[in-house]
């Protein structure tokens, strides 16, 4: 006999308040002792897995909790909203926030998910970081992109930007292009007062 997901195997030697107990095998593979009255009344239809599945569905939202993109999203909200966060002073503390739609993860993922997957395939998870194009702007689709750690460091507020070959780029990138030590280049310009053209000469 079958009752829901339970297939009755045999009568158990146990009894409960005079009721027969039946040994049943659930479709999920679990074995369970069930009172006969509960089976015939339709009160017990599985080993308990139906209840667990329903609870999982109720608790499930986007299905991406604890994934890398989810942690990225949680991180940006934390440094913008949480005054106890050690990063708050450089973000929320100076007026950096995120667009209203991104209060919900699904909207963040809808805006950034496609580019995330492309960047992930090329650079891997550790090198896929969320970067704001304008460091004084908010976190939003128009002002965010996925960057490597090197690209991210070049976009920091503390990184000095200068005109080189007709465009404004980070001093660290200039040092890499001309093949000179970044600290030496920075020292020549900020401490010694050298022009960029003079400072890049090895």
Residues with Cβ within 8 Å of 161's Cβ and at least 6 positions away in sequence, in order, are 168, 169, 170, 171
Q: Is pTM beyond 0.85 here?
A: no
Q: What digits encode the pLDDT tens for the residues 126-163?
A: 999 999 988 889 999 999 999 988 777 766 655 677 88
Q: Cα–Cα distance between 165 and 142 in angstroms, integer?
A: 27
- Identify the pLDDT of residue 155: 64
Dihedral in degrees, nearest 10, Cα atoms 67, 68, 70, 73: 170
């Amino acid at each position: 006999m079958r009752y829901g997901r339970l297939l009755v195997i045999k009568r158990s030697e146990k009894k409960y308040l005079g009721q027969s107990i039946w040994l049943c095998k659930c479709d999920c593979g679990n074995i369970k002792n069930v009172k006969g009255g509960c089976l015939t009344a339709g009160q017990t239809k599985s080993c308990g897995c139906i209840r667990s599945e329903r609870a999982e569905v109720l608790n499930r939202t986007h299905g991406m909790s604890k994934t890398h993109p989810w942690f990225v999203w949680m991180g940006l909200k934390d440094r913008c909203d949480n005054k106890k966060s050690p990063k708050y002073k450089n973000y929320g503390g100076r007026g950096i926030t995120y667009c209203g739609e991104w209060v919900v993860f699904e909207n963040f993922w809808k805006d950034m998910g496609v580019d995330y997957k492309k960047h992930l395939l090329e650079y891997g998870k550790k090198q896929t970081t969320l970067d704001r194009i304008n460091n004084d702007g908010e976190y939003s689709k128009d002002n965010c992109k996925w960057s490597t750690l090197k690209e991210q460091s070049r976009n920091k507020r503390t990184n000095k930007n200068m005109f080189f070959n007709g465009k404004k780029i980070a001093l660290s990138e200039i040092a890499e292009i001309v093949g000179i030590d970044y600290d030496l280049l920075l020292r020549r310009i900020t401490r010694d007062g050298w022009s960029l053209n003079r400072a890049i000469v090895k």
